[in-house]
Amino acid sequence: MSYLITQTFISLLIAGLLGLILGWYLCRIAANSARTSLQTRMANAEADARALRTEVDAAVNARGNCEAERKQLTEKLTALQGAASQAAVDEAVLRTLQGELDACHDALAAAQAASPEVQPLAASVPAATGSDAVAPPAAPSEHAGAADDLQQIKGIGPKIALVLKELGILRFEQIAAWTPQNVEWVNAHLRFRGRIEREQWIVQAKALIAAGRATE
């Protein structure tokens, strides 16, 4: 009887030891598996962290480059705006000066036309001979019709139009047909050397004639 009890106790003890050993082994396997999984996840996390740091560095560099380009573009835009403003100011000044010069020319023409000393205009023109001699423009044809509004030509104001009328210049066709000698003659009477050429009266007269014919 005691033998059976002893054998049973020993069997139970051995079974318990085997259970402990098996449990410890299974726990160790599970722990190793969990540790391996954790190590893998940690390695993946470190790789992801390195990739993120690389992306962050690239983003910082790109931001720095963009900021530098923005500053350069801002400086260029400021310079262009300054140049445009200066150009606008210069153009406005030139227009003002041109207007003042034209006004002075008109006033001088009016003074010359009204002064008795300059009424005999032909006498004030220096005489010349040969092919280079100045010559007055041809008179308008008897069938030319009414006089044109010469003030449509840029540079001819009321005073200059009056002087031209006194010189017998009434129509665009006369101005369009001017020769260099005619221009010299009119310049001498107007006392404005180079104004006819500078303001292109002949070109404007031809354009006005063509426009009038186009509307007929």
Question: How does DSSP classify residue 149?
Answer: -
pLDDT of residue 133: 52
What is the residue extent of each domain of the chain? 44-119, 121-214
20-79 confidence digits (pLDDT tens): 898 898 888 988 888 898 899 889 999 998 998 898 888 888 888 888 888 888 888 888
User: Residue 160 in contact with residue 104, Cβ under 8 Å?
Assistant: no
Q: How far apart are CA 215 and CA 213, in angstroms?
A: 5
User: Residue 181 in contact with residue 133, Cβ under 8 Å?
Assistant: yes
User: Residue 139 in contact with residue 173, Cβ under 8 Å?
Assistant: no
**Alpha-carbon distances of 104 from 49, 92, 186, 192, 198, rounded to whole Å:** 81, 18, 18, 11, 16
Residue 201, sorted as left (phi over 0), alpha (psi -120 to 50) or beta, turns out to be alpha
Record the tokens describing residue 102, joined without a space.
């034209």
CA 135 from centre of chain: 48
User: Residue 212: pLDDT above 90?
Assistant: no
For residue 61, what are the contacts with CB-CB under 8 A and spacing of at least 6? none
Q: What angle do CA 119, 124, 130 make, to 5 degrees?
A: 135
Q: Which of 95, 212, 103, 97 is nearest to 155 (CA)?
A: 103
81-130 confidence digits (pLDDT tens): 877 777 776 777 777 776 677 667 666 655 655 544 433 333 343 444 34
Q: Which of 121, 211, 130 is nearest to 163 (CA)?
A: 121
114-171 confidence digits (pLDDT tens): 544 433 333 343 444 344 455 677 766 554 568 899 999 998 989 889 999 998 999 9
pLDDT of residue 179: 93
3-31 confidence digits (pLDDT tens): 888 888 898 889 888 888 988 988 889 88
- Three-state secondary structure call for residue 155: coil
pLDDT of residue 105: 62
